[in-house]
Structure 1
Amino acid sequence: MSDKMIRLMKMVIAIQANPGISAQELADKCETSERTVYRDLRILDLVVPITNDGYGTGYRFIGNFAMYPLNFTEEEEMVFSILPSMLDKSKLSPLIDSVYDKVMATHVKEKQKRREAIENFTNLIQMGTPAYKADDDSPNYLLPIMEAIIAEKTLRAVYHTQSRNTVTEREIDPYCLVPREQRFYLIGYCHRKQDILMFRMSRFHGVEMTTKNFDKGDFDIHHYMKHTWSVHRGDSLITFKVKFQPDVVRYIKEEEMFVRPKMTDLPDGSLLFEATVNHEQGFLNWLAQYGPSAEILEPLSIRKQFIERLQRWMEIYN
């Protein structure tokens, strides 16, 4: 391979490893003059998507151009990034800079590709805006939260608690996202409350990923949500028996839920639905959408409450 070809390859690797690298830095790495670097860049520009956004910005690649894919853990990245400052280069091969640039080039590009993949995915997920907010007043924190979940990094967040109408700063270990009632909720360990809680995404006023690692231990989302019908969690279990009319049975059977109900088909085409939950309100809110096609059989106390609610509605509409 000619010296010129070797130099061109070095430049490609150096730009990938150091996005924004200057012509002078390229000249130093390739042991040549800035004039030669500019000439080589014009040649590379014919086959490689290189850009320079203006004075003082340096050179970088456009789009997804990359060489030699590689993957580093964050700990490996940290160690490798400080490696040059720890070595006595006078006792090493002159090729050490070239080797270092090749390795860093692969990692920088792979890290960029992972972030772009997460960003593209979050753009596919559209969330609604609370009625009291304007569209431009609702920042989307889905990307940093998903990054923190994947990297297992603690979040520093500002959160609005609706029930108390208070805004607090918290550190949260994000475990997973779940869709409930047409909204996204983050499940994670709250350091402030020292408990695993559910956070509604639209109530975050600020989110920042820290450098702190966390371990979610033996946390299991299905165990955590085992008896939780929607987002409210209680301490006592309540077993419901509901009879659904034939016109809604097929819709009930395709409902997606963490609670595992017992369903029994009845001779007249209706459905006996039995479920044990730890908070009644979420279940009753879900049940109300089926109107007279859903009849609460048990518990009798809840059945009576529902009758009283219907009577109050009748008074309003009469």
Structure 2
Amino acid sequence: MITYEAASTNKVTERMINPYAFVVYDENIYCVAYCEHKLDMQTFKIIRIHQVEAMENTYDIPEDFDIREQFPQLGFIREPLEVELVIETPFSNQVKESIYSENQVIEELPNNAIRFKATLNGSHSIKRWILGMGPKATVFGPDDLRKEIESEVEQMLQQYKS
């Protein structure tokens, strides 16, 4: 049983849910669960859950449940993108202490910089993450991502020049 605050209305409701998975997206954690109130799968942002009460009820997650097939429309799972970045301090330290992907590889470079390679999902959140590191991150792959970042930076520069 949870009490949950809706993002659109700020209304707090009580919901009985059966959690199926937890997903990290855009630096937030979400619970994907079957909601007894809606009689459907729903996504709950953890930060909006005010209270949790463990119930004695049990449930089974269907064997064919695959979040990659069931929830692409939520933005959590998108076409995977193989990225390669060089990241300098102070961000290199934060990245070394975090897990962004099961297959991430971090190579130490001079001056505490790192080469970061990983398969990530959600191009919008990837771009926002990279742009948030400013000049301390350089995209080496894929080329399309590098061009999109270059375009964003050029647009930002034009805004400040005019």
Partner of 2:84: 241
Retained in 2: the 8 A contact 1:177–1:184?
A: yes
1:187-242 Cα deviation digits (max 9, x unpaired): 323575855x532145579x99988642225699xx969xxxxx842342211111
Task: Map residues 1-318 of structure 1 onto 2, 5 A cutoff.
Answer: 144-145=1-2, 160=6, 172-175=17-20, 183-190=28-35, 194-195=40-41, 197-201=42-46, 213-216=58-61, 232-266=75-109, 269-318=112-161
List runs of 5+ in structure 1 lacking aligned partners: 1-143, 146-156, 226-230
CA-to-aligned-CA distance 1:16-65 (integer Å, 9 cap, x gap): xxxxxxxxxxxxxxxxxxxxxxxxxxxxxxxxxxxxxxxxxxxxxxxxxx
How many residue pairs match? The answer is 153
Closer, same or farther: CA 179–277 of 1 in aligned 2, 3 Å: closer
3-state SS of 2:44 partner? strand
**Which amino acid letter does the alignment assign opposite residue 113 of structure 2?**
S
Structure 2 unaligned regions, length at least 5: 69-73
- Cα contact 2:82–2:120 (8 A) shared by 1: yes
Taking structure 1 as the reference length, what is the TM-score of the superposition? Answer: 0.37
Q: Which residue of 2 aligns with 1:105?
A: none
What percentage of residue pairs aligned between the two structures are identical? 21
Which structure has more RCO (C-alpha within 8 Å, separation ≥ 6)?
2
Equivalent-residue separation in structure 2 for 1:248 and 1:210 (angstroms)? 41
- Displacement after TM superposition at 1:246 (Å): 4.9
**Residue 36 of structure 1: aligned partner:** none
